[in-house]
Amino acid sequence: MVVGAGIAGMTLAAALVRDGISVTILEQAPDPAPAGAGVELTPNALRPLRNLDLGPALERVGVYPESRELLRWDDERLLARSPLGGELSARYGAPTLALLRTDLHRALHDALPADTVRTGHYVTDLLENSDGVVVRCADGRQVHGDVAVGADGANSLIRSLLNTERYRPARRLLYRGLAPASRAPEECGRARVRVWTGGDRYISCFPVAGGQKVSFSATVPAGTGEPDSWTSRDRIGDLTAAFGGWSTAALGLVSAAEWVGVWGVHDHSPVPVWQSGRIALMGDAAHPTLPFFAQATNQAVEDAVALAACLRDATSLTAGDALERYARLRRRRTDRLDAVSRDILGALRADGDRSPEAWAREVSRAEAANADWIYGLDPVEACAQPVGADPAAD
């Protein structure tokens, strides 16, 4: 069984169902659809999603951006450009696809049997024995299964049962917003990812929903406010103040927003324990990912298809061994990604010593140096190799 009906849990269920394995997802919310921000599916996630026959459904609602452009914060001078379309597809077997997180979630949900997701199940504890696991819910219900997978997000209960570490307070805030393309500056609706960078903050955007909307994100140093209590209008005002003097296109996009959410980007060490017996973690529950290389959702998809591959031939007696193998393979990869992302975060924090041009060079260098092992991995194929030969560590 899977705890959590986010992108990670839904992708795992889709992959298991395709292999003929019965799965139940327990979700505490009455409606598990995620917030309406956009997501970039990079080749390492789009390929396995296509292998699950989700390509047509995703392409109907997505946009293929041609490139990613790093722009100077004030005058929009082009600092660097990297390809996201045909060149990426030729090299890694798929391009980048931009779409709404809700559209990705809907496509995954539609690929599952009707009774797979059980909403209103607030999990409070689980017990493991030699035959399986028992999940206990707040209302007294119990659900039995061969294994339990924690896909319950960055504030995971299942992670807390396996680890004592607590995350440090957020040092940065990540805003995500959505604007109608008809109200956004025209250049923001073009098929590309635009990133305005300056000092210790940036804004990025790309079209979604078949080009009908523009998704954007912005990151700033964390302040002392309580962002979860703010309205979207308050957040727009705060963003406008935080980016005063920036490009008129960037600020025009923020002003056009119909919705804005905000999250803390927690500075944390990699989770030390991913798996114990018949219990395992995945997605943000295992490795909340810093917002670089657009990998948070993409690594969750990788986790899902890798875990499904490890469980494919497992029995009730060998399920624990399959989870252990998954955890060892995936932790090596996500730990490496965390180290690279921290280097970029360090460069972003060094605002007093780095110009936008210098930071753009740092990001471009990091992307060029790491593209092959990030975008080129086949997570299913990696599971078929000895752990010591994992290509993610090459």
Instruction: Specify if 111 maps to a domain.
Output: yes
Instruction: Specify if 30 maps to a domain.
Output: yes
Q: Determine the pLDDT at residue 229.
A: 44
Do 256 and 361 fall within a single domain? no
Do 178 and 246 fall within a single domain? yes
Pairwise CA distance, residues 23 & 66, whole Å: 38
Angle at 118 between CA 146 and CA 286, to 5 degrees: 60
For position 331, which CATH number holds? 3.50.50.60
Do 125 and 205 fall within a single domain? no
* R_g over Cα of the chain: 21
Domain boundary among the residues 251, 266, 281 is at: 266
Angle at 111 between CA 332 and CA 53, to 5 degrees: 70
Instruction: Specify if 122 maps to a domain.
Output: yes
Do 290 and 375 fall within a single domain? yes
Domain residues for the domain of 360 are 2-64+94-167+271-393
Do 292 and 379 fall within a single domain? yes
Q: How many domains does the chain divide into?
A: 2
Q: Determine the pLDDT at residue 382.
A: 80
Do 254 and 280 fall within a single domain? no
Instruction: Specify if 49 maps to a domain.
Output: yes
Pairwise CA distance, residues 104 & 81, whole Å: 27
196: left (phi over 0), alpha (psi -120 to 50) or beta: beta
Pairwise CA distance, residues 193 & 232, whole Å: 23
Instruction: Specify if 116 maps to a domain.
Output: yes
Q: Determine the pLDDT at residue 387.
A: 58
For position 203, which CATH number holds? 3.30.9.30
Do 26 and 139 fall within a single domain? yes
Instruction: Specify if 58 maps to a domain.
Output: yes
Do 238 and 124 fall within a single domain? no
Q: How many alpha carbons lie under 13 Å from residue 144 in its C-beta half-sphere? A: 5
Do 380 and 299 fall within a single domain? yes
Domain boundary among the residues 231, 249, 266 is at: 266
Other beta carbons less than 10 A from residue 227's beta carbon = 18
Instruction: Specify if 202 maps to a domain.
Output: yes
Q: Determine the pLDDT at residue 262.
A: 87
Do 298 and 377 fall within a single domain? yes
DSSP characters for 17-69?
Answer: HHTT----EEESSSS-PPPS-EEEE-HHHHHHHHHTT-HHHHHHH-B---EEE
**Report field, pTM of the whole predicted structure over 0.85:** yes
Mean pLDDT, each 10-residue run in order, the chain (394 residues): 96 97 95 83 97 97 96 94 94 97 96 96 93 95 96 91 73 90 97 91 95 94 57 86 94 95 74 94 88 85 97 93 95 89 67 68 82 92 67 48
Do 132 and 20 fall within a single domain? yes
Domain boundary among the residues 233, 266, 299 is at: 266
Q: Which residues contact 163 (CB under 8 A, 6 or more apart)?
A: 271, 272, 273
Q: Determine the pLDDT at residue 168.
A: 63
Give the percent of the chain with pLDDT over 70.
Answer: 90
Do 278 and 386 fall within a single domain? yes
Q: Which residues contact 357 (CB under 8 A, 6 or more apart)?
A: 72, 79
Q: Determine the pLDDT at residue 340.
A: 84
Instruction: Specify if 354 maps to a domain.
Output: yes
